[in-house]
Amino acid sequence: MRNIININESWNFTKEGKTEKVNLPHTWNGTDGQDGGNDYYRGTCIYEKEIQKKDMPEGDEVYIQFDGVNSSAKVYFNDKEIAVHHGGYSTFRAKLDPIKETNKIKVEANNAPNDSVYPQMADFTFYGGIYRDVTLIGVPKNHFDLDYCGAPGIMVTPIVKGVNAEVTIKAFCNTDSEVVFEITEGNEVIGTAKTSGKNPEVTITIANAHLWHGIDDPYLYTATVRLMENGSTVDEISARFGCRSFDIDPDKGFILNGKEYPLRGVSRHQDRPKIGNALMPEHHSEDIELIYEMGANTIRLAHYQHSQYFYDLCDEKGFIIWAEIPYISKHLTNGVENTKQQMTELICQCYNHPSIVTWGLSNEITMNGSDPALIENHKMLNNLAHSLDKTRPTTIAAVTMCSIDDEYVHISDILSYNHYFGWYGGNVSMYGPWFDNFHRKYPKKAIGISEYGCEALNWHTSAPEQGDYTEEYQAYYHEEVIKQIIDRPYLWATHVWNMFDFAADARAEGGENGMNHKGLVTFDRKYKKDSFYAYQAWLSKKPVLHICGKRYVKRVEDTTKITVYSNLDEIELFANGKSIGKQKKGKYPFFYFDVKNEGETEITAKAGELTDKSFIKKVDTFCEDYRMKEEGAVINWFEINTPTGYYSINDTIGDILSTLRGKLAALKIILKLKSAMGSSDKKDSKKDSGMSLAGFKINKTMIEMGKGFTIKRVFMMLGGKFTKEQILEVNAILNKVKKPSK
């Protein structure tokens, strides 16, 4: 029989000549990958471990399994190279041979930049290390396959037909021995079959199948295969599965088991403070519970393959999952084989999970435009996904700047777009009209939102505006997007970016470097921002009542706005025990009250049996604790020269481009910044039909999106790529350009 032991404990870890004892999971970027500066260590580190033969699992053959080593790994056993794996998020294995009395395992883990392994350009930290479990698997000479792409060796395909489900089970083995197939429901065996031969498969019918129906009823069965010799079981593996059917209709959206089932949820990055991606089971469990508490029913697991433990939790809770590979931001000429490998591993390793309904081919891959090589790679991946899995559609997360007419957009079966209207340009009201336009032009293409969001830290204001990083603007932003989504049921899925704040070491925004703060929940999972409750009030089936702005106590205005989120029918608000009034719920679960701000006021909201409280205090001057503290190359207001009647970096791109002199100044600025970044490579300029800056192609769409930005904010978003002196040079250029007279 198969024997499995975990060998996470007591490894010697060596980085730059220094060795220490560590337990797995482990990353060497838990601190420097989260503090900003884009200077975290990216290179090769060594993990070594001795293991005695007596401590290894019994079996004629022993395999070592790595659930995740980022980004590339070379594995040695007794000084012999036994495996090389490129791709930091999937499982791989190698056979240990020959086994001695004392054995040495050595792993060279490497997250250094290169031009062939994805991801290389993305807005998150690429944590190096052996950050998931390592196990040893002992098996008899004849056993189910352990050599193909880290796959489990069993593939289960349930097809719902009427009230029944026909379940095809395929076992992967290279032997003529008999294989017994079994389906169990709880502890009861409800179906069996047996056959033999290489990679045998059978179909077993479940009569009156209990369907897996998302978060409402995530019912699971178990399929087991046993390899038999002389009437005895020599190897056994199993997989849980769910019986469900689904369709994605361009007009009605997602349909589960014949019923409309709108997919509304979040995206997830997995990392945590200090430990990066080196998570324990309790971390995954906490994440799934928070998402469940919010009321979501779908998760986009971005931008890479996540832990099998987390996929299992998704199966159990009933979340609908978008799973994808890290083919992101930039097409690498030398990375084609790696995209093929990572797609194969994703599908083969995750095939049995009923929660997964679509395979993501890429994310924002047209950042630098679309070209024939990129198109061909997507067609290859699309065909590959369909050849490996005939039951699930493919999808793409396209970036705003990509035209809806681009060939690339129409390769996958379904589609979603990443839009940040109201944060990275434009305004928040643009979502509905944009998607309506797409839906009119391509009525047969299912369209959704793969990313949308904005950043919020513990900054506060009574006059929120785009780019201020306040909790109040984030709440307003999500209220407005929710309203537009509610009015458009044709959107097959919508995924907030992001459920949790996450590390992006290149960032210098919002007053805390190294982080992306678009999460509805803070990085440490300790604080749920107001926007979390906006979604809970919309999506949760449990009663919800939440007063916003609890961290915003000191306020200067005489009358202040109090926002309440609830899914209950009527809300009453009280100030120091006196009723401000009642409001009945309309189409959207948001309530707004004007409250006099005098002295100290206890705010109480009541709805049904629920009560929530907050507190405000009148102050004469704005509390500076609530104002964003900018760091790095971001310049203080008093350092910016703003001569009357002339432009400065405090002006918006739209205003500057509204005059001929402004356009000429903008061109001069772009050329200067390109030169400063050393991006005037002649070879690249021949390929580019337009101008690029900081890796982003400057085109008409991008300019239209950016018209709402001040130049200062653009520099903030570029994450410290320019010095204070360079920014002030830009300001000096603008100071010479006269504004039009009013």
Rounded Cα gap, residues 545 and 448, in angstroms: 29
DSSP state of 638: G
Q: What angle do CA 413, 417, 420 make, to 5 degrees?
A: 175
pLDDT in tens, 178-226: 999 999 999 999 999 999 999 999 999 999 999 999 999 999 999 999 9
Query: Mapped to the 3 state alphabet, what secondary structure does 467-511 carry?
Result: CCCEHHHHHHHHHHHHHHHHCCCCCCEEEECCCECEEEEEEEECC
C-alpha 437, offset from chain centre: 26
263 and 297 Cβ atoms separated by less than 8 Å: yes
Judge if the upstream peptide bond of residue 354 is cis by omega within 30 degrees of 0: no
- What are the mean pLDDT values of the chain's consecutive 10-residue runs (742 residues total)? 96 98 98 96 98 97 98 98 98 97 98 97 96 98 97 98 98 94 97 95 98 98 97 97 98 98 98 98 98 98 97 98 97 97 98 98 92 97 98 97 94 97 88 97 98 97 90 98 98 98 92 95 98 98 98 98 98 98 96 98 97 98 88 57 86 86 86 66 40 48 67 70 84 91 73
Rounded Cα gap, residues 545 and 261, in angstroms: 25
- Angle between helix 336-350 and 308-317 (nearest 10): 50
**pLDDT of res. 1:** 87
DSSP state of 542: S
388 and 353 Cβ atoms separated by less than 8 Å: no
Query: Mapped to the 3 state alphabet, what secondary structure does 424-451 carry?
Result: CECCHHHHHHHHHHHHHHCCCCCEEEEE
**Coil, strand or helix: which one is 682?**
helix
C-alpha pair distances (Å), 528 with each of 72, 290, 445, 501, 626: 35, 9, 35, 11, 18
**Coil, strand or helix: which one is 145?**
coil
Backbone angles phi, psi at 601, to 5 degrees: -130, 125
Give the position of tokens 């409750």.
533
For 376, half-sphere exposure in the C-beta direction (CA atoms, 13 angstrom radius) is 8
* pTM of the full structure: 0.90
**pLDDT of res. 723:** 81
Which residues lie across from 601 on neighbouring strands?
616
**pLDDT of res. 684:** 40
Beta-carbon contacts of residue 622 (< 8 Å; ≥ 6 apart) = 556
364 is catalytic: yes
The Cα diameter of the chain in Å comes to: 95
Query: Mapped to the 3 state alphabet, what secondary structure does 605-620 carry?
Result: EEECCEEEEEEEEECC
355 and 314 Cβ atoms separated by less than 8 Å: yes
Which residues lie across from 573 on neighbouring strands?
581, 605
Rounded Cα gap, residues 593 and 328, in angstroms: 44
45 and 71 Cβ atoms separated by less than 8 Å: no
Rounded Cα gap, residues 337 and 573, in angstroms: 60
Residue 647 Rama label (left phi>0; alpha psi -120 to 50; beta): beta
Q: Which of 108, 324, 364, 472 is catalytic?
A: 364
Rounded Cα gap, residues 718 and 508, in angstroms: 8
